[in-house]
Structure 1
């Protein structure tokens, strides 16, 4: 039986890249306690530390062939744990911000449902007005606004001149402004 404990980190990495599970186990046994202590100093929660370390070693095994390791395995592992710690802290901050936002919402009782309802109603009105445009003008307008095509790309696609495309878009915007102006004023007054 091979004594993996006598291998250097670089030799273990070479074996790991080839899928040697015993080399992986040796790396895990060699560094798990050191990494646990390092992570615990920052996170102060044994379960969270276990998760961070487990994630690190899972990635180490699943990406063993693709990962590029420096000559310093311990440095790589410490940096990976540090990044895991920073991700966890960032997640905790986002969770705390979300919880605070949810508490504010519950305390203030403000409802954004009404705003969303009005937004959806306005979106439907705009879509209806766009659908009421003349066919070619609507097609040009939708290619410009929904597909984000340039005037030249629309002209090439539809066999029109750029000037015609530009004219269709200007007219469509003018029609929509005149038709939607009333709705926008009403929505503004309701908010």
Structure 2
């Protein structure tokens, strides 16, 4: 492993493309902290910066064998972090916009067409993701959210433990939140307004 830290980025990329996992480890170790600091400087948030860098390295790993760099590895990784940060900021602005509109929608009775269209679109996206949950998880989730059944009743109906019901619901919420990239509060607003 010590040999790898003496290699250039170009050599590491050549090894990585040939399937050498140690080359990836060296690139990760070489660049993680500087990319983290770069992301943290842009976001002013340590957790989000860590998530961004992890996402960049995951994407890098997944496409490393086909990757043809037109710039240096250093420049590529920095640009990837910058683009990911900008995407996150855009998504957060959109989430905040949705939250503000929904707040007006419920607090002030502001039933304007744009708000209703946005809310209906969000409902459609969530419904589609619920349909894609694993069958048993979807069944537990829908009994809880659509039928308003408590954990004990679902447990009894499906002949599973209360703990399993709770875990399935929490997993479903986690999956939906991750896939839709929306705050949990927005997901709860949707779930509490189902007809």
Normalising by the smaller structure, the TM-score range is 0.5 to 0.7
Contact kept in structure 2, 1:69 and 1:76, CA below 8 Å:
yes
Counterpart position of 1:91: 91
- Deviation of 1:110 after TM superposition, in Å, equals 4.1
Q: Is the 8 A contact 1:40 1:49 kept in 2?
A: yes
Deviation at 1:2, TM superposition (A): 6.0
Number of the residue aligned with 1:18: 18
Q: Secondary structure at the match of 1:68?
A: coil
Superposition pairs of residues 60-79 of structure 1, within 5 angstroms = 60-79=60-79
Q: Which runs of 5+ in 1 are unaligned?
A: 117-191
Structure 1 residue 30: Cα displacement: 0.3
- Write out aligned runs for 1:27-38 (5 A): 27-38=27-38
Contact 1:10 1:71 in 2 (8 A): no
CA-to-partner distance for each residue in 1:96-130, whole Å, 9 max, x for gaps?
A: 101101111012224579x99xxxxxxxxxxxxxx
Runs of at least 5 residues in structure 2 that lack an aligned partner in the other structure: 118-195
Confirm or deny that 1:105 pairs with 2:105. yes
Give the corresponding residue for 2:46: 46
Compute the TM-score of the two structures, normalised by the length of structure 1: 0.56
1:25 and 1:80 map into 2 onto residues whose CA distance is 18
Q: CA deviation at 1:56?
A: 0.5
Contact 1:4/1:26, CA 8 A, preserved across alignment: yes
Per-residue displacement from partner, 1:7-52 (whole Å, max 9, x unpaired)? 0000000111112110000000000111011110110111111111
Whole-angstrom CA distance in 1 between matches of 2:90 and 2:112: 27
In the TM superposition, what is the alpha-carbon distance from 1:70 to its structure 2 partner?
2.8
**Rounded Cα–Cα distance in structure 2 between residues aligned with 1:82 and 1:40:** 11
Q: Distance in 1 between matches of 2:100 and 2:110?
A: 14
1:126-165 superposed matches below 5 A:
none
Structure 2 match to 1:4: 4
- How many residues end up aligned between the 2 structures? 115
Q: Partners in 2 of 1:112 and 1:42 — Cα distance?
A: 35
